[in-house]
Amino acid sequence: MATTSTIGVTAPGIAAKAAEKAPRAPFITAASLRGMAANLIPPVVVMIAFLVIWELLCSRPGAGLPPPSRVVTEAWDIIVNPFYDNGGTDKGLFWHISASIQRVALGFALATVVGILVGTLIGQSDWAMRGLDPIFQVLRTIPPLAWLPLSLAAFRDGQPSAIFVIFITSIWPIIINTAVGIRNIPQDYRNVSAVLQLNPIEFFSKIMLPSAAPYIFTGLRIGVGLSWLAIVAAEMLIGGVGIGFFIWDAWNSSHISEIIVALVYVGVIGFILDRFVAFIGNLVTRGAAA
Amino acid sequence: MTYLSIENVGISFTRNGRTNEVLRDVSVKIARGEFVSLIGHSGCGKSTVLNIVAGLLKASTGVVLLEDKEVNSPGPDRAVVFQNHSLLPWLTVRENVSLAVDKVMKGRKTKAERNEWIDHNLALVNMTHAAERRPNEISGGMKQRVGIARALAMEPKVLLLDEPFGALDALTRAHLQDSLMEIHGRLGNAVIMITHDVDEAVLLSDRIVMMTNGPSATVGEILKVDLERPRRRLELVEDPTYTHARAEVLEFLYARHAKPAVAA
Ligand SMILES: Nc1ncnc2c1ncn2[C@@H]1O[C@H](COP(=O)(O)OP(=O)(O)OP(=O)(O)O)[C@@H](O)[C@H]1O
Ligand SMILES: [Mg+2]
């Protein structure tokens, strides 16, 4: 501002332009820095406090769990080498995690396709909705692992059984939310489609899916969370490569520090999956909530 | 030379075993290019009449004939501008219009011709500047204009308007009434418009159909409005034909068929 006013005497036009632009010029302003700090400082402070308390509590002799300092030194190998592969199940965390994510991706993708189709069919009919809703409400409360023996009996193999557990765990919220979304399609949109004489396929893709999308994504978000809960537990039982098995294996070899590192990974991946689905949902449903 | 004929239409709804007759013996004949308003108290069954003509509801008795053919399902030859615009919120203004154009004009026009037709209709209602915006980013008046553009773009034989300007402020409303008159003058579609506004009815219509109160509502009286077109609202204020028509409608609505006091 001070500079523009001195130029202003000789070249008022330029000065006015410079003054106009001035507020936009700096990318990082003091205000935006303060805003960032306000968001960053509390979690960092809480995190440090948590680690300090943990360190203090677990440093005394006879403590059941290792303090964070020992976790880092003991598990240093697996922290810095996530990509090693010694064959069999002796692999870095990256490989375990990616095996788990693949199972979730497959089971969840199946659940998404089947769940949306079934939800759409059910949402169309009052009768089906009334008849099936109580059954779904019961089925959806069955804990994921309770399905495992049944699916092992059916598939006689760990891999498809784990995927089936993901599928059956995550499909209920998808079906239920899709059906509710379809039922809530405003009569107005149906009228528009009737006047335009949309055929059933056009109606499905151009009216039903977009209109029900916010509901569908609520279901998908719940579903992906449940999938991740289920896969860790299922892998503990079926073995093979996977983060659940890794944790179970570490427990059997009393590597508590490795378990703690693995838990951090599980938490972070679960968080990322949730945010990923929410992000896609925001992209797709942009504007749909008018 | 009847173009659209509503003949002895009646409809009853049955709910919880109780039958409720909403319309009885509604008959109106409309000529090509004629602008007809439907006026009556809230709940008498105006939207129901319009939905029957649109084919969205089935009449229990009577028929609707368009060019001597029975109307029994919805179709783009009877485009509707709904009471609450009903644009699809996930589509932009342009996409809302193009959904209709691409569906209705497919096979008749090439892709390029359709695009041009979409632009033409958006320009008709002065919405070109906001074509890429979504419905929740534009004002109520603009939404209503897009709804009208979408309906006009189908090149309907009959344009059905359900209180198209009901939710708008007086200035926007006057502006859109003028656009509608101008567009109607140019295209010459037959129009049925529902309204609550006596001035709007007189200003825009060739004839005003006044409905009695429900249940079993029917056509009470049909008033012909003999005013030259194009009409200009300022010149009409003192016009004896205008004031007389206005008085007739008011008399019908508030003296002879006053809304029964709501018992509650
Ligand atoms: N699908 C339906 N089932 C049962 N009753 C209905 C149905 N549609 C309309 N009605 C009844 O028909 C009557 C007329 O409704 P309609 O919507 O046509 O009134 P309207 O004249 O358009 O009112 P408004 O001016 O408030 O829009 C109302 O009493 C309403 O309850
Ligand atoms: Mg109505």
Please write down the HEC assignment for all residues of A215-275: HHHHHHHHHHHHHHHHHHHHHHHHCCCCHHHHHHHHHHCCCHHHHHHHHHHHHHHHHHHHH
Kindly give, in sequence order, each residue whose CB lies less than 8 Å from that of residue A1, ignoring residues fewer than 6 positions away: A19, A22
d(CA B99, CA A207): 11
Question: How confident is the model at residue A8, as a pLDDT?
Answer: 36
Sign of CA pseudo-dihedral B102, B105, B107, B111: negative
Question: In A37-56, which positions are buried (b, 16+ CB within 10 angstroms) versus exposed (e)?
Answer: eeeeeeeeeeeeeeeeebee
SS (H, E, C) chain B: CEEEEEEEEEEEEEECCEEEEEEEEEEEEEECCCEEEEECCCCCCHHHHHHHHHCCCCCCEEEEEECCEECCCCCCCEEEECCCCCCCCCCCHHHHHHHHHHHHCECCECHHHHHHHHHHHHHHCCCHHHCCCCHHHCCHHHHHHHHHHHHHHCCCCEEEEECCCCCCCHHHHHHHHHHHHHHHHHHCCEEEEEECCHHHHHHHCCEEEEECCCCCECEEEEEECCCCCCCCHHHHCCCHHHHHHHHHHHHHHHHHCCCCCCCC
Question: How confident is the model at residue A19, as a pLDDT?
Answer: 43
Question: How confident is the model at residue B248, as a pLDDT?
Answer: 94
C-beta atoms of A195 and B79 within 8 A: yes
Question: How confident is the model at residue A14, as a pLDDT?
Answer: 42
Which residues of B fall within a CB distance of 8 Å from A198?
A: 103
Give the amino acid at A76.
W
Q: Please write the tens of the pLDDT for every residue from A91-139.
A: 889 999 999 999 999 999 999 999 999 999 999 888 888 888 899 989 9
Given a cut of 50, whether residue A22 has pLDDT beyond it is: no
Q: Please write the tens of the pLDDT for every residue from A256-266.
A: 999 999 999 99
C-beta atoms of B80 and A196 within 8 A: no
Among B80, B103, B154, the residue with its CB nearest the CB of A198 is B103
- In the structure encoding, which two tokens stand for residue A206, read together? 């151009």
C-beta atoms of B86 and A285 within 8 A: no
Please identify which residue in the block is written with the tokens 């199940």: A89
Question: How confident is the model at residue A26, as a pLDDT?
Answer: 62
C-alpha of residue B82 to centroid of ligand 1, in Å: 14
Shortest CA gap A188–chain B (Å): 6
Closest CA to B200 of B231, B183, B177, B221: B177
Given a cut of 70, whether residue B264 has pLDDT beyond it is: no
Kindly give, in sequence order, each residue whose CB lies less than 8 Å from that of residue A116, ignoring residues fewer than 6 positions away: A174, A178, A209, A216
Among B76, B135, B136, the residue with its CB nearest the CB of A195 is B76
- Name the residue of B47, B84, B218 to mutate for ligand 1: max ligand atoms within 8 A of Cβ: B47
A/B interface, count of CB pairs below 8 Å: 62
Own/partner pairs, B54-58, CB within 8 angstroms, 24+ separation:
B54/A191, B54/A195, B54/B78, B54/B80, B54/B160, B55/A194, B56/A191, B56/A194, B56/A195, B56/B80, B57/B11, B58/B11
d(CA A183, CA A141): 23
Q: Please write the tens of the pLDDT for every residue from B151-206.
A: 999 989 999 999 998 878 888 889 889 989 988 998 888 999 999 999 999 999 99
Question: In B62-101, which positions are buried (b, 16+ CB within 10 angstroms) versus exposed (e)?
Answer: bebebeeeebeebbbbbbbbbbebbbbbbbbbbbbbbbbb
d(CA B143, CA A290): 12
Give the amino acid at B173.
R
- In the structure encoding, which two tokens stand for residue B99, read together? 């959904």
- In the structure encoding, which two tokens stand for residue B190, read together? 């037959």
Which residues of B fall within a CB distance of 8 Å from A194?
A: 55-56, 73-74
Closest CA to B6 of B154, B184, B207, B183: B207
d(CA A177, CA A222): 10
Q: Please write the tens of the pLDDT for every residue from A127-169.
A: 888 888 899 989 989 998 899 999 999 999 889 999 999 999 9
Sign of CA pseudo-dihedral A197, A200, A204, A205: negative
Q: Please write the tens of the pLDDT for every residue from B38-55.
A: 999 999 999 999 999 999
A232-255 average pLDDT score:
90
Q: Please write the tens of the pLDDT for every residue from B85-126.
A: 789 999 999 999 999 999 999 888 999 999 999 999 999 888
CA-closest residue to ligand 1 atom 17: B47
Give the CATH superfamily of A76-289.
MetI-like (1.10.3720.10)
C-beta atoms of B74 and A197 within 8 A: yes
More confidently predicted of A16 and B199: B199
Q: In a 10 Å sphere around its CB, with 0-12 CB exposed, 13-18 middle and 19+ buried, how is residue A121 labelled?
A: middle
Partners of B38 in the beta sheet? B194, B209
| pTM of structure | 0.79
Question: How confident is the model at residue B187, as a pLDDT?
Answer: 85
Averaged pLDDT of chain A:
86
Give chain A's largest Cα–Cα span: 89
Question: How confident is the model at residue B257, as a pLDDT?
Answer: 87
Tell me if ipTM is over 0.95: no
Substitution target in B90, B102, B103, B139 with the highest count of A β-carbons within 10 Å is B90
Give the domain ranges of chain A.
29-64, 76-289
C-beta atoms of A194 and B74 within 8 A: yes
Partners of B28 in the beta sheet? B6
Q: Which ligand is nearest to the CA of B43?
A: 1
Given a cut of 50, whether residue B263 has pLDDT beyond it is: no
